[in-house]
Chain A
Amino acid sequence: MSPARRPILLIAPSLVFMTALFAWPLIVAIGQAFTGPGGPTTAHLERMIDDPYFWPAARNTALLIVVLIPVQFALALTMALLLRERPKFAGFYFYVWVVPLAISDLAAGLVWLAVFTDRGYLNSIFHTDYAYLSHEHPTTMFLAVIVAELWRATSLVFVIIVAGLQGVPKDYDEAAEVFGAGYVKRLRHVILPQLRPSLQVALILRTILALETFAVAQALTGRNLPLLVGETYQWYGFLQNPNVASAIALVILAVSLLAAFGYLRLMREAHR
């Protein structure tokens, strides 16, 4: 075999894999979203947009990302920097902080449901009778989802940042210290720039995963706090309309692509 063909052979398995499990379903989904019994149609798209749950779902999903991701990154970064100082029992803290990573979304949702539900831990500890998850209290309902998601998904960002920090040589940091840079200055000008690749990966991953938030919200609020992926499931599973389900799924895909593209662009520009 000629050396020129070798790379194609090497990537062939992954090409087959991507085509079968990604490209093909994607094409089918596009077909489902845009064809009806009488040929091409935008009827499913209109149906999706007219649905009283769609815009609230889109709004909630966006709000979730906007609130969740900055808080999550601040928390994860703090946790990683704390660990970097090598406190006593650092290994123990590390394991405790990554435990949520091992827990399934649904289980995490249920754990937090036990906390927030009308007769849950929170109400029994404070002897209150507040319906945190009632549709009448959208703010607490939303906050409950935020807290649960923070607990569940911050560890992913944390692990990525810890891994990234290990690739940052101590020398730079020490050199900056010798020249009299304080902690904040070193963080801003030495550590964070070197963490950029890790942060970029974590941002893209987390944004896409946050767009796909589903099980935690479903467990906590049912359809009271609709989210886009939950709506896809609703249309596919309960309403048995794969066409509208595909249309919503495509919206999620488009937003994910845009977000990933945007981050890459932003990070590159910041680099220049």
Chain B
Amino acid sequence: MTQRVNRRTLLAAVASTPLLAACGGVSTSGSGGEGSVDFLSTQFLPVEERQRFEKILADHVKTKVGFNPIDASVFATTVQSQVDAGQTKVSLLGGLHGDLAPQKDRLMDLDDLAKQLSDRQFPADLIELGKLGGGSLKYVPWMQATYLLAVNKAALQWLPSGADPQNLTYDQLLAWVTAGRQGNGGKPIFGFPGGPKGLNHRFFQGFLLPSFTGGQITTFRSPEAATAWQYMKELWAQTAPASTNYDFMQEPLERGEVMIGFDHVARLVNAPKSKPDDWLMVPAPKGPKGLGYMIVIAALAIPKGAPQADKAKEVIKALTTPSIQVEVLRANAFFPVAKAELPGDLPKPISLEAAGVKAQQSASSAIVSLPPVGLGAKDGEVAQIFKNCFKEICLDGKPVQAVLDDQAGKLNAILDQLKVACWKPDPAGSPCKAM
């Protein structure tokens, strides 16, 4: 049933795209009225998330804020044109690391603010990341998310002996889902988000490939990458074929179509909603090089020439207080970056995820990777390269190395135009390309 809803949402999106695009160009100022801080954000674009976040702003932030979430590409052009023309109208920017990094030279230094926020105890590597390769802090971490495996406890009966769901390897996962399929009367128990709006490319970019190769782009066509894709082919053979229609894994998981699913935490959170005690949220598996996982960092920054810079700093202070960070987690399932005690009354699905996120972060062999940085409007095309590899290798059954060589050529053609520096886990170096 939900698949129907799913398509309907897709189609509503299709139908409304021209409308939204029309709005995007004009409405780049907030709705908070005179004297409010214009807050331009790539996050909380879906209307429900937006309303919940606006409520948090209204209830907990003293400064008046006009919150204006927009599409990432509109965000980039707006910031660029306003700052470069010396007519900055927005005062506060909120975006993913990849949205803010290309704007590095258009952002104010925030070192003084960071000193005042030392009690927030942001993780040191996030602060390092916020320097965007320079000496001074360009953004303050706002919130984070990642991807996990959701496991219905009913699947534990097929767990191979010696395997710990909290500490899986990719081989154990394959053995598990293979045994599960046999035990389930031939029906696959594993699913992943391979639909048109699914985030399966993040699985390849941030989990599978780093775990097998230690890199994301530079190692794109290495022998280790071929092993990874060979593994993917075997895993796909045991995966629910309907996965090419899954956009949000929480839906097939909740319906019981599959029992184990990989997705973004915000797209898994509803799976355990009705029966939270039946579920586990566990870290992604480990590969030969370690536990590759992708961290999604959202951050706050102030553009140069911001009309309300001081007020914007007040808003940043407020949004990074542990209590508001917890409110955001409760409302929109984005995790705190400040050191915050998670209260016991969190919704059960969120506390399940919190445990998974913590376990994943504290894994000894973790290889952190980031969503691509600085690709701007080309992000979708680079994502499509990974999706094409999946289509050609797993769905069409073409030879792995030949597909990788072919797609590496296309990847490099895009990267050659952009001349961007590599991002984690690839070694920093410019220009980034597949070797």
Chain A contact residues, CB within 8 Å of chain B: 37, 47, 50-53, 106, 109-110, 113-114, 117-120, 131, 133-136, 215, 218-219, 222-224, 233, 237-241
Contact = CB atoms under 8 A, between A and B. Distances in A.
B244 A224 contact: yes
B17 A237 contact: yes
Query: What are the 10 A-B residue pairs with the smallest beta carbon separation, nearest first?
Result: A239-B380, A240-B377, A222-B196, A239-B381, A136-B241, A106-B11, A135-B244, A223-B196, A134-B241, A238-B380
Given A113-B4, A222-B196, A240-B73, A52 B11 contact: no
A219 B241 contact: no
Given A222-B195, A240-B73, A52 B388 contact: yes
A233 B384 CA distance: 14
B87 interface: no
B245 interface: yes
Contacts, number: 71
Contacts of B339: none
B4 A114 contact: yes
B1 A119 contact: yes
B242 A218 contact: no
> Which one of B17, B380, B395 has the highest number of Cβ atoms from chain A below 10 Å of its Cβ?
B380
Contacts of B381: 239-241
B8 A131 contact: no
B242 A106 contact: no
A110 B242 contact: no
A37 B4 contact: no
B7 A110 contact: yes
Interface in B1-39: 1, 3-4, 7-8, 10-11, 14-15, 17
Contacts of A117: 3-4
5 contacts: A113-B4, A117-B3, A135-B241, A135-B244, A219-B11
Interface residues of B, number: 30
Contact of A240 (B195, B380, B391): B380
Q: Is the interface of A mostly helix, strand, loop or mixed?
A: loop
Interface of B: 1, 3-4, 7-8, 10-11, 14-15, 17, 73, 195-196, 241-242, 244-245, 377-378, 380-381, 384, 388, 391-392, 395-396, 406, 410, 417
B384 A110 contact: no
Q: Is the interface of B mostly helix, strand, loop or mixed?
A: helix
Contacts of B391: 52-53
Given A133-B245, A224-B244, A238-B196, 16 more contacts: A47-B410, A52-B388, A52-B392, A110-B4, A110-B11, A113-B7, A118-B3, A136-B241, A215-B11, A218-B10, A219-B7, A219-B11, A222-B10, A237-B17, A238-B380, A241-B380
A145 to B, nearest CB: 14
Contacts of B4: 110, 113-114, 117, 120
A128 to B, nearest CB: 14
Given A50-B410, A110-B8, A134 B380 contact: no
A249 B392 CA distance: 24
A119 B410 CA distance: 39
B1 A109 contact: no
Contacts of A135: 241, 244, 395
A134 B242 contact: yes
Contacts of A222: 7, 10, 195-196, 244-245
Contact of A37 (B15, B392, B417): B417
A223 B7 CA distance: 12
Contacts of A47: 410
A37 B8 CA distance: 38
B6 to A, nearest CB: 10
Contacts of A239: 380-381, 384
A219 B388 CA distance: 21
B14 A106 contact: yes
Nearest to B187: A129
A224 B245 contact: yes
B45 to A, nearest CB: 15
B388 A131 contact: no
A40 to B, nearest CB: 17
Contact of B11 (A53, A109, A131): A109
B245 to A, nearest CB: 6
Contacts of A109: 7, 11
